[in-house]
């Protein structure tokens, strides 16, 4: 099967999988205990029977289950997520207001973890049994095993309480709520970037320390297996530099499981980092998801669970295509 036929087949399979996710997402919230009306009423916004009827009609809760599913599926496919039970604001606007913070935090930490983890994994595999290998593996296992809330609290204690280098939390300086930076000048733009980076440093550092170890250990394991192959001995016998042998030949053939792991890591970026964002009071998707769960905000939860699943599905689709490009031995079938 050629690449074009494979892409068509995978696209159809991906679309069917998306429909399955939509169906499952709808069923989960239909069978959950409790009533959506009770969830809205618990916020204290309903005071009489007329308001209850108005809310029921607004959210389509007066329709039968098949009609609700049809409308829900159409809305998910067109990214019309409805209104939040808790804030009464469009869910899409709630997501847009936080997605930039999450992409800045989780996106940057994930990309940094991938680059550093893969690089250190290659170096550790090339020096197997040496001091660098032992130190990098031990360090990655330690940071990978520590809870993120513990590392966050330690980071706050050291860098905020003792050294006073970085702020304790939030995604921007509190003073910006009253006096936002003037982005019309170069100084204002630099101040904006500097203020955001200051507040990003500690949570990004915590997420990086937690994530990079997984990529390091995976890269090291796959590289050790590749470095024992005959073509590596042949490459070295030809006089190629060690850098070329490691990164151009060995890493390329060892990258198949790494690509899959990277795709999953990128696919889950939109899920945010609930614990880290809570520790640092960072207004991102993770904290919003936690708030939506606590408030039984069904439309918000349905939207974000669907978006996360959609990103993972797309990331896996791209990973499958990329694997075929990297390794021509993989046959599309």
Q: pLDDT of 232-285, one tens digit each?
A: 778 777 777 878 888 877 887 778 888 888 888 887 877 767 888 888 888 888
Is 86 inside any structural domain?
no
- Nearest Cα to Cα of residue 211 among 129, 132, 118: 118
Is 300 inside any structural domain?
no
Is 242 inside any structural domain?
yes
Is 35 inside any structural domain?
no
Is 23 inside any structural domain?
no
* Mean pLDDT of all residues belonging to the chain: 81
Helix (H, G, I), strand (E, B) or coil at 83: strand
CA distances from 235 to 128, 171, 227, 239, 243 (A): 19, 49, 11, 7, 11
Query: What's the CATH number where 239 sits?
Result: 1.10.3720.10
Longest dimension (CA), the chain: 84
CA distance 50 to 241: 78
| Helix extents (H) in the chain | 3-31, 36-41, 49-58, 65-77, 91-102, 108-126, 131-145, 148-155, 186-226, 230-237, 242-244, 251-267, 274-279, 285-294, 298-326
Is 66 inside any structural domain?
no
Task: Work out the number of other CB atoms within 10 angstroms of the CB of residue 267.
Answer: 20
Contacts of 153 (CB under 8 A, 6+ apart): 279
Q: Quick one: pLDDT at residue 36?
A: 64
- pLDDT band at residue 89 under the 50/70/90 scheme: confident
CA distances from 111 to 47, 100, 207 (A): 48, 15, 11
Is 276 inside any structural domain?
yes
CA distance 327 to 333: 14
Average the pLDDT over 17-39 and give the result: 79
Looking at the whole model, is its pTM more than 0.85?
no
Structure token pair of residue 217: 């250990």
How far is Cα of residue 38 from the mean position of the Cα atoms in its chain? 31
Is 230 inside any structural domain?
yes
- Nearest Cα to Cα of residue 71 among 299, 254, 240, 280: 299
Measure the CA angle with vertex 329, ends 328 and 333; round to 5°.
Answer: 95
Contacts of 206 (CB under 8 A, 6+ apart): 148, 151, 152, 155, 276, 279
- Domain ranges, residue 200: 100-295
pLDDT digits (tens, 9 = 90+) for 182-209: 776 777 777 777 878 888 899 999 999 9
How far is Cα of residue 175 from the mean position of the Cα atoms in its chain? 29
**Total number of domains in the chain:** 1
Confidence check: pLDDT of 168 > 80: yes
Q: Quick one: pLDDT at residue 157?
A: 92
Q: Quick one: pLDDT at residue 43?
A: 56
């Amino acid at each position: 099967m050629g690449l074009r036929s494979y892409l068509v087949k995978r696209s159809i399979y991906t679309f069917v999988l998306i429909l399955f996710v939509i169906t499952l997402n709808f069923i989960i919230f239909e069978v959950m205990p409790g009533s959506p009306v009770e969830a809205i009423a618990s916020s204290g916004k309903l005071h009489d029977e007329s308001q209850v009827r108005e809310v029921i009609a607004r959210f389509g809760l007066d329709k039968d289950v098949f009609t609700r599913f049809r409308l829900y599926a159409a809305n998910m496919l067109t990214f019309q997520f409805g209104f939040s039970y808790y804030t009464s604001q469009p869910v899409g606007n709630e997501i847009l207001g936080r997605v930039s913070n999450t992409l800045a935090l989780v996106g940057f930490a994930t990309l940094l973890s991938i680059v550093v983890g893969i690089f250190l994994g290659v170096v550790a595999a090339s020096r197997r049994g040496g001091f660098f290998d032992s130190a990098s593996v031990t360090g990655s296992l330690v940071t990978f095993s520590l809870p993120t809330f513990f590392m966050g609290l330690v980071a706050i204690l050291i860098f905020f309480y003792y050294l006073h280098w970085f702020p304790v939390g939030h995604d921007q300086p509190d003073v910006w709520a009253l006096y936002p930076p003037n982005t019309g000048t170069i100084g204002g733009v630099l101040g904006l970037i500097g203020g955001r980076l200051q507040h990003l440093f500690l949570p990004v550092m915590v997420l990086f320390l937690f994530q990079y170890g997984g990529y390091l250990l995976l890269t090291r394991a796959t590289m050790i297996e590749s470095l024992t192959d005959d073509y590596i001995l042949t490459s070295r016998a030809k006089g190629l530099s060690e850098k070329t042998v490691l990164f151009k030949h060995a890493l390329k053939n060892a990258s198949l499981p790494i690509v899959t792991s990277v795709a999953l890591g990128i696919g889950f970026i939109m899920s945010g980092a609930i614990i880290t964002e809570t520790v640092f009071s960072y207004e991102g998707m993770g904290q919003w998801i936690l708030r939506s769960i606590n408030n039984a905000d069904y439309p918000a939860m349905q939207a974000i669970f669907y978006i996360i699943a959609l990103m993972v599905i797309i990331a896996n689709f791209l990973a499958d295509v990329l694997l075929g490009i990297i390794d021509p031995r993989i046959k599309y079938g």
